[in-house]
Structures are given as C-alpha cells and as structure tokens.
Amino acid sequence: MQIKLWIGQEMTVTLTPAQPEVESDWRRLWRDYLMFYKTKRDDVVFDTTWARILNPETDMFALLAYDGDRAVGLVNYLYHHSFWDIEKRCYLNDLYVHPDGRNLGVGRTMINAVVEQAKSDQLKQVYWLTAKDNTNARALYDKVAHLSPFLKYDIHL
C-alpha cells in the first residue's frame, strides 16, 4: 500500500507502510518522537518493536510519510480487542511529524490513512492520547476527533 497525496503548495506526501528498506527512517523518526517527549528507549525496544511491526502475525503497524525521498512523518498504531465491543479498536500509539513537515497537513494525512485502514478492517474506533500541553498537536486533534472526558492513570511496574 502506497498512498501519494498532494497536500499543498510545498509538499507532496507519499505514505509507505513499514518494510525492511525504511527501517533507518523509522528508527530516526521514532527516536525524534521520543526525544520530543523527553524520553528514550534501549536498542532492544527498537529492535523488538520493529520486528513486531514487520511480523504479519501481530496487529502492530507503522506508516512513514515521505516528501520525495525524505521521511517527514511517522505513525505507529496497533489493533486490540475490547471488553465493550466485538470489533477490535485501533490505538494510534505514536504520531510524529518532523518540524519541516508541520502545519502542512502531514499529521492529518497520516491520521486519515489510519482511520481509513481501520474502517477497511471493520474496527470500532481509532483513539489516542497526547500530552495536555502539546498545543500544536491538539490544535489538529481538535479538528479531526472528539476529546474524551477520561483521564489516564498509570501504575508503573
């Protein structure tokens, strides 16, 4: 699956699913995403996650957005069951757009691609989390989705 979209005067975006030849771009963009959130993961997490994304037996996926041969965006997402419905749901785990691609429609294009894939796969919902203070991303999210009233609680083990 390759999706090529002209998203504005400045950029034509091609969405490419994860495949072995885009691994270095995926790693670079995911590392940038983690740095944005002031966190990092060991190489074993990168290796394991990449292997899961490539494994057709798992429900973990990634799309990369390219402007020509330059990777400018990444979306990692997964499908999972729920106690509340028969159909699976899609959790959009990570969405990152390189600063050069921001405010040009790259993020919206990647979200729309995930939503269309989830519809095609007959899923019930696409959802995600973001930081309260991530105002740039929230400006987009407020246009494409409904803000949930739920709060997230964590217990780290």
pLDDT score recorded for residue 6: 55
Mean per-residue pLDDT over the chain, rounded: 92
Per-residue confidence at 151, pLDDT binned at 50, 70, 90? confident
Angle at 11 between CA 91 and CA 25, to 5 degrees: 55
Q: How far apart are CA 126 and CA 121, in angstroms?
A: 12
pLDDT score recorded for residue 74: 97
When pLDDT is averaged across residues 21-28 and rounded to a whole number, the result is 97
Residue pLDDT, tens place only, 90-123: 999 999 999 988 888 899 999 999 999 999 999 9
Phi/psi of residue 127, nearest 5 degrees: -145, 165
pLDDT score recorded for residue 93: 96
pLDDT score recorded for residue 156: 86
In sign, the C-alpha dihedral spanning 133, 136, 140, 143 is positive
Q: How far apart are CA 53 and CA 60, in angstroms?
A: 5
Examine the pLDDT at 34 and tell me if it is beyond 90. yes
Residue 123, C-beta contacts closer than 8 angstroms, at least 6 positions apart: 79, 87, 88, 89, 90
When pLDDT is averaged across residues 34-63 and rounded to a whole number, the result is 96
Beta strand 11-17 with 126-127 is unpaired
Q: How far apart are CA 14 and CA 79, in angstroms?
A: 23
- In the chain, what percentage of residues exceed pLDDT 70? 93
pLDDT score recorded for residue 9: 60
pLDDT score recorded for residue 105: 87
Q: Which two tokens stand for residue 59?
A: 């429900």
Task: Let me know: does 2 contact 19? Beta carbons within 8 Å.
Answer: no
